[in-house]
Amino acid sequence: MSVAKPSLLFYCQHSVGVGHLVRSFSLATTLTADWRVLFLNGGRLPAGIAVPAGVELIQLQPLGADEAGNLVSHDESVGVEAALERRRRQILECFERFDPRVLVIELFPFGRKKFATEVLPVLERARERGRDGPLVLCSLRDMLVSRKDQGGHDERAAQLANRYFHAVLVHADPAFVRLEDTFRPATALTVPVHYTGFVVRDRRAPVPLPRERCALVSSGGGLTGRALFAAALEAQRVLWAAEALPMTLIAGPFLPKQEWRALESAGRTLPGLTLIRSVPDVGLEMQRMSVSASRCGYNTALDILYSGVPALVVPYGEGLEDEQAKRATRLAARGLVRVLAPEHLDGRTLAAEIRALSTFRPEVARVAANGASDTAEWIARHAQATSRAPVARGT
């Protein structure tokens, strides 16, 4: 007779791209071996990204962010404030109904401040249960973006982490980047910080086949790809005229429909250009292409390293969004990618940089990439503790 698995509630809000969702799905997939994983999805579920087998998806009223960082509702019949209230109630109902042994919150309180009204109530409910409450964990990517009020933001995050969480799981290799490199609060974190290694998708080892002579251009979910795609169309004219180099451009599931239609219209007469709306796994496409030009989000960077493709990254950098630039700088310093600053992006420059990739030989990536399995092992070990009261209560 089989024993029912204990419940693990995993909250994830992706807003602009798909990186947070892809990483969280990878973690959830591994966690299903030991847990009944209930996945609270706060954003749109992109076309082509399937819910992992064994994961129970609970779709919240979908919210996201526009390029200016403003919250938007993806349901025209429900405004943002009404959606947040519905979500708050739904999250609390799920917590009470499933009584999770583990509660995983992706990014908050180090980000997602706009969602505090729905996250803090469930954290408070978990805290009220004391030793009978769940193990409460923050799932955090490798580095954080800069803020206008950096000191105030970091201080608030540190106090919330110390008050409500048992541990912060940083999905990175500490030899590559550490949390304190982008997070410097006045109040020290007293909650334990554990580095799991990077989280990569579960794939078979790359097959060493001859690469197709083709430039791949991509921008993650696509919402921030407008400038890169416009430059790519111009670059393709140059590349085709100079050396008949084909280009495949993957737009991404979140590129607005009108921009996709404009791409199709502009690219219809360009020789050697293939436009693809979206694919389930851009990393697999990187494995078979001769060169790649892309943004530098968490998952894209790992796809580049995993595939070994000679790659140019053009980090997204509107406003204070410097997380990708920080990552790109570290990768370039290790000889793993070439970087084109976004302010220098145009068709001719992009074409020249893509041509330069023909002689670029990236170094072998040597970073810990066991993040999913390490996370699962760490949670299994610590969830068995008899006392799960918060490590530090805070104020």
CATH architecture of 7-199+370-382: 3-Layer(aba) Sandwich (3.40)
The contacts of residue 243 (CB under 8 Å, 6+ apart) are 355
Most confident of 62-66, 70-74, 331-335: 331-335
Is there a shared CATH topology between the 7-199+370-382 domain and the 212-359 domain?
yes
The CATH code that applies to domain 212-359 is: 3.40.50.2000
State which H helix or E strand residue 105 sits in: strand 102-106
pLDDT digits (tens, 9 = 90+) for 98-130: 999 999 999 999 999 999 999 999 999 999 999
Phi-psi region of 244 (alpha: psi -120 to 50; beta: other; left: phi over 0): left
Residue 250, pLDDT above cutoff 70: yes
Q: In the chain, which ranges are continuous DSSP H helix?
A: 19-31, 80-98, 116-128, 150-164, 226-243, 257-267, 282-288, 298-307, 323-333, 347-356, 371-382
Residue 391's pLDDT is 43
- Which of 193-202, 279-288, 309-318, 379-388 shows the lowest per-residue confidence on average (mean pLDDT)? 379-388
The contacts of residue 341 (CB under 8 Å, 6+ apart) are 314, 315, 325
Could you write out the three-class secondary structure of 21-89? HHHHHHHHHHHCCCCEEEEEECCCCCCCCCCCCCCEEEECCCEEECCCCCEEECCCCCCHHHHHHHHHH
Q: Hey, what are 23's tokens?
A: 């990483």
The contacts of residue 301 (CB under 8 Å, 6+ apart) are 313, 327, 328, 331, 337
Percent of the chain with pLDDT over 70: 94
Report domain extents, the chain.
7-199+370-382, 212-359
pTM metric for this prediction: 0.92
Residue 387, pLDDT above cutoff 80: no
Best CA proximity match to 295, nearest among 351, 260, 250 = 250
pLDDT digits (tens, 9 = 90+) for 22-53: 999 999 999 999 999 999 999 988 877 889 99
Question: Cβ of 205: how many Cβ atoms within 10 Å?
Answer: 6
Mean model confidence pLDDT for the chain: 92
